[in-house]
Chains A and B, each alone.
Chain A
């Protein structure tokens, strides 16, 4: 299937559509360039593995290396806590996303607004609609998704990928950050 078709066939996007993250370097550059990134993690991540390890471990490694605060929805919190990683906040995905549309909101720590929001693990259509909200109403926040399917309403998204390719990309992102 074309890399930039929405994963759910009928979720036709546009005119404005996400640019593709075709290799890890792109994501790394976006993360490195961001002054205030934040990651929003949904419960879907528990279903996936990267190199035989739960994907959540890859995200934790990423968050630690890039110093990215992680906001989790309710059901995902335990997965992080059990790996001795404390999320910055537990909030519903719509609530944290709504906050991101407020240019005066200075973040969870009250310091300054976020400029990059990374989404992963939400139900596809829920993430689709939330990213649409941010595309239209959070002009100062770039959005990126780490899911293995194309999310057209993000600023940057992986293409529709096999789990194997996607896992390799995620692993590459973390490794590059180490370098």
Chain B
């Protein structure tokens, strides 16, 4: 995994609440091999009206945010299904960070595995960002993971991130390599556990 560095890029002020993973990527696209790229599926149905035309009232369709690498949303972003494709759509569309007051648990974990930062900003902080003229104009904002701050003009807003995720993102850690370094502990656990819970193995 590539280490996460400070981002300075425009942010997309999506501003929606409870954006579930079925919105992030409708199920019908999930057969696609990853190599083909998932960026085009991002919020696919939400972005379009009934006739299939791109909606004019949604930030994600706004040319000002075409180069956005940061998404700004309201509470419970990424709730619902465990589909990691909900992160692929963001990553493949160029997003490296989502700012929201809270996240779907599995989504946030999937995001970290793909180098996307789920940064928890207070609800009032999100309102400040969504109302900021610079953000709305598509000016770059700065996300500093080490300092846990979002900077817009001369404003600086703190964010929360789980310490383990922060470390993983900053170091570009690979979980599997890390776990393999625990091979001895795993072997010892299995030996102990087999004696303690003989019933735990399927008959």
A joins B in a complex:
no
User: A residues engaging B (CB < 8 A)?
Assistant: none
User: B residues engaging A (CB < 8 A)?
Assistant: none
